[in-house]
Amino acid sequence: MGMNMEFIKKDDYSGELDYRAFGSMLDHPTQCYKFYWLEAIMNLMLKKHRFSFDEIFDEMIVSAWYTVTQYHLFLGPMIEGERRDAINRAIDVLVENTSLNENSKPDGIRSVLKEQNYLVLEYKRKLAKNVPYKLLSSFSSELTQDKGDAYRIEYIQILNQEIHLPYIIENGVGIGKCVVLQEEWIPFLMDNYLIIKNWIQYNKIQFLQMINPGVPGIINKLDDERNNVRHLERVRDLWNAHIEVSNKEIVDIYTGNKLESTFDVDHFIPWSYVAHDEMWNLIPSNASANRSKSNHLPEWDLYFNKMANMEYDLYKSVVEYDSIHKLFEKCYAKNLQSLWAIEELYIKGNTEYEFKHKLEAHMYPLYEAARMQGYSEWKI
């Protein structure tokens, strides 16, 4: 799974640094913890070089927040049908017992963690048991064994005198123990900051894809730049042109009200699951209904047929009107990339039954997979 990363190495770095061991820190993960632990350290080191386990755990929870709450990704293997990893469980507890939700901002999450730390203390203690030590196991296999905190902390400090570890651990009470970055490594970590962050992200995505095998587009969800870009304008133009040539009133499928001219373009199955802007999953919706639906799945039996009717009406306009077809062609680059849609759905000659059957055959498995991943159903 690991990514071979070429780090910047300078002769003036202090002492002998084991780059090979550092580059193996993320190898062979069984849980997501090492990615989030190292990522948290990299984030925190921009302000200081000594921080408590508790501070690091808070940063891990913040970093994983949207991955769990918006995208419903599992961070570790399911055991007996349940999430067992500590970060997932901590986030679930915070959502259930505080005002935090999927749209909460990082500073708000940190504030609640400080005020209501007791809610997640057991999960932080679970993380403290092995995560801080095992990340250093690529420097010495002795650290793969749980011989107690006191032994491992002393072993790390002795080992650090011989080979220079990226950090040592200062003893303390529980999650009050501290990580101290070592001076010899700080120039290397700063010079390679973006390289290391990208390396962590790459390995994290590979791991999450492995344990969430049915979930599409994980790389798009965890890429902030891609995540913030939607390609809906040409689909909006297409729907507007279709509405203009249509001889019947177009209504919002959720409310039954007439479609407003300032309609939203809605992902029937949420973008946070499908991670694309394919037009067969997009319909016009009044803004209030779209806000209410948010990141939920519209109840299938109640809304799919209405959605399919709208899609079929649009399909007929695309086939019948040259002007509409030209706008449809402009959607190819960003909104029509699925081969099945190009080769089966948007071809001349489909009857209403054939069109809806093909649409359902491809959308229902996606819908069910999203539901199994934890997306809740919604209706007005």
10 within some domain: no
88: which residues sit within 8 A by CB, 6+ positions away?
Answer: 64, 68, 74, 75, 76
pLDDT at 120: 97
Burial label, 348 (beta-carbon count in 10 A; 0-12, 13-18, 19+): exposed
Query: Directed axis angle between helix 300-320 and helix 352-372, to 10°?
Result: 140
Q: Give the residue from 168, 198, 226 where a domain finishes.
A: 226
Q: How far is CA 117 from the centre of its chain?
A: 24
307 within some domain: yes
101: which residues sit within 8 A by CB, 6+ positions away?
Answer: 69, 95
Judgement on whether residues 218 and 247 belong to the same structural domain of the protein: no
Judgement on whether residues 300 and 206 belong to the same structural domain of the protein: no
Judgement on whether residues 133 and 182 belong to the same structural domain of the protein: yes
Beta-ladder partners of 83: 78
pLDDT at 145: 85
13 within some domain: no
Instruction: Find the DSSP H helices in the chain.
Output: 19-23, 33-44, 53-69, 86-97, 106-115, 121-134, 149-163, 186-191, 193-211, 218-222, 224-227, 233-245, 271-274, 287-293, 300-320, 322-329, 332-335, 339-340, 352-372
pLDDT at 276: 93
Judgement on whether residues 257 and 364 belong to the same structural domain of the protein: yes
Q: How confident is the model at residue 77 (pLDDT cuts 50, 70, 90)?
A: confident
The answer to whether the beta carbons of residues 290 and 327 sit under 8 Å apart is: no
Minimal CA–CA distance to 284: which of 330, 309, 251? 251
Between CA 154 and CA 72 the distance in angstroms is 39
Name the residue range of residue 95's domain: 19-226
More confident residue, 205 or 6: 205
70 within some domain: yes
Mean pLDDT of 258-275: 94
Please say if the pLDDT value at position 123 is more than 90: yes
Mean pLDDT of 343-365: 97
Cα radius of gyration (the chain): 25
5 within some domain: no
pLDDT at 224: 66
pLDDT at 67: 94
Judgement on whether residues 285 and 299 belong to the same structural domain of the protein: yes
Judgement on whether residues 79 and 139 belong to the same structural domain of the protein: yes
Between CA 98 and CA 95 the distance in angstroms is 6
pLDDT at 230: 86
Judgement on whether residues 158 and 298 belong to the same structural domain of the protein: no
79 within some domain: yes
Judgement on whether residues 192 and 122 belong to the same structural domain of the protein: yes
Q: How do residues 29-61 score in pLDDT, each as one tens digit?
A: 988 999 999 999 999 999 999 999 999 999 999
Q: What are phi and psi of 3, to 5 degrees?
A: -105, 125
What single string gives the DSSP state of each residue in 204-235? HHHHHHHHSTT---HHHHH-HHHHT----HHH
Enter the pTM of the model. 0.83
- Left if phi > 0, otherwise alpha if psi is -120 to 50, otherwise beta: which for 15? left
Judgement on whether residues 154 and 24 belong to the same structural domain of the protein: yes
Number of compact structural domains in the chain: 2
Q: Round the average pLDDT of the chain to a whole number and report it.
A: 92
Judgement on whether residues 251 and 212 belong to the same structural domain of the protein: no
More confident residue, 225 or 237: 237
Q: What are phi and psi of 169, to 5 degrees?
A: -120, 130
pLDDT at 53: 98
Judgement on whether residues 244 and 218 belong to the same structural domain of the protein: no
58 within some domain: yes
Q: Give the residue from 192, 226, 260 where a domain finishes.
A: 226
pLDDT at 378: 98
The answer to whether the beta carbons of residues 26 and 200 sit under 8 Å apart is: yes
pLDDT at 228: 65
Q: Could you tell me how many residues make up the chain?
A: 380
pLDDT at 3: 55
Token pair recorded at residue 47: 């302000």
Q: How confident is the model at residue 248 (pLDDT cuts 50, 70, 90)?
A: confident
Q: What percent of the chain has pLDDT over 90?
A: 82
Judgement on whether residues 269 and 243 belong to the same structural domain of the protein: yes
Q: What is the dihedral of CA 141, 54, 121, 130, to 10 degrees?
A: 0
The answer to whether the beta carbons of residues 236 and 206 sit under 8 Å apart is: no
Q: How far is CA 25 from CA 5, 14, 159, 192, in A?
A: 12, 21, 16, 15
25 within some domain: yes
Between CA 224 and CA 189 the distance in angstroms is 22
**Least confident piece of the model among 32-36, 178-182, 224-228, 298-302:** 224-228
Q: Give the residue from 226, 241, 257 where a domain finishes.
A: 226
